[in-house]
Amino acid sequence: MALTVNTTKIQNTDIEVSNVYVRIQSLCLSDGKKVANQLTSYLSKEDFLANKPVVTEIPTNVMVVLSETENQDIDTIHNAIVGKLSELGVVASIV
């Protein structure tokens, strides 16, 4: 699973790009509730497959804290990241 972000800018430029493909690497902490996530952006899924990341204004590190009733599973984590990004004004969708 991955995310797409509707619109962002290439870092340190005025270049705006749309439908950025974002892969997530998660580290579930032993407390069972915190998850540290590293987000890597690519201009497309093909660029991901070719290992061609791009630095954008999308946060690269996102920490989520799950509620007592949530499990540390991939669906819950991805949805929590989408929510965190939304709080920052970033529109993302799970793909």
Residue of 29, 69, 23 lying closest to 43 (CA atoms): 23
Element (H, E) at 45: helix 45-49
**Rounded Cα–Cα distance for residues 89 and 25 (Å):** 21
Instruction: Give pLDDT < 50 ranges for the chain.
Output: none
Report the pLDDT value the prediction gives residue 28, as an integer from 0 to 100.
95
Residue 1 is predicted with a pLDDT of: 83
* Residue in 90, 94, 82, 95 with CA at minimum distance from that of residue 6: 90
